[in-house]
Amino acid sequence: MGLIKDLKEEYEIFKERDPAIRSYWDVLLYPCFTAKRMHKKAHKLWAQGHYFRARRISQKAVRKTGIEIHPGAQIGKGLFIDHGCGVVIGETTVIGENVTLYQGVTLGGTGKETGKRHPTLGDNVMVSAGAKVIGSFTVGENSKIGAGSVVLEEVPPNCTVVGVPGRVVRRANVVVPRMNMDQCHLPDPVEEDIRTLQQENSALVNRVLELESELKECQKGCREKKNETL
């Protein structure tokens, strides 16, 4: 009964965030489902102090699914890992409810800290493909990390972060529905900066041309005045 119950619960989660799913049994084919079930067992052993057994289960899960979740990581309800290959979740990571991760995501540490050294993700966070969230800080609820971004510092709630290093490009005190999350159509801060520089450069060139024209008119007036004097 445990498997059937898990299938039904996971199906509702997967159906909400992946239109490719067709039936309850499709859930069995998702690496996310297998990785989460194995992590649940490993995390229980880890909490009981059976570290080697817990790590053995987690490493077995990596070989089967391509998803590496440390047994010490704390995962809330509703986690969905789409595809999942290359996802790494560190030991002291804390993941809230209804979080979505895509392939190649890393929730890692800097390697220089002890204790809590991995990120905390709030509820309803989405981390797009290839993004890296590195360090012991919090990504606020309803926030969205763009594909390929490298996030190195805290993210407030209800924000969109893109770039390397990641920076907030959209902030609004409005809850972002999970159904409307889109990992592709995000602002490009580099393009916006280049566009701003181009506009400022055009304005500067036009001003220089105006000053040159004024100078020529002034010089012409001075010559005419001088000729009249002679």
pLDDT digits 0-9 by tens, 148-185: 999 998 999 988 888 888 788 877 655 444 445 555 55
Q: Which residues of 195-210 are buried (b: 16+ CB within 10 A; e: fewer)?
A: eeeeeeeeeeeeeeee
> What does the pLDDT look like over 116-144, one tens digit per residue?
899 999 999 999 999 999 999 999 999 99
Domain segments of the chain as ranges: 2-187, 188-230
Peptide bond into 177 cis (omega under 30): no
The pTM of this model reads 0.70
pLDDT for position 175: 45
Per the prediction, the chain carries an average pLDDT of 84
Taking the C-alpha atoms of residue 188 and residue 84, their distance in angstroms, rounded to an integer, is 25
The pLDDT value recorded for residue 11 is 80
What tokens appear for 69 in the block?
């979740």
CATH number of 2-187: 2.160.10.10
Write a three-state SS string for 122-139.
Answer: CCCCEECCCCEEECCCEE
* CA neighbor of 41 nearest in space, from 3, 85, 71, 5: 71
Residue with tokens 């966070």: 125
Question: Which of 156, 157, 155, 149 is CA-nearest to residue 128?
Answer: 149
pLDDT in tens, 90-113: 999 999 999 999 999 999 988 767
Better pLDDT: 154 or 8? 154
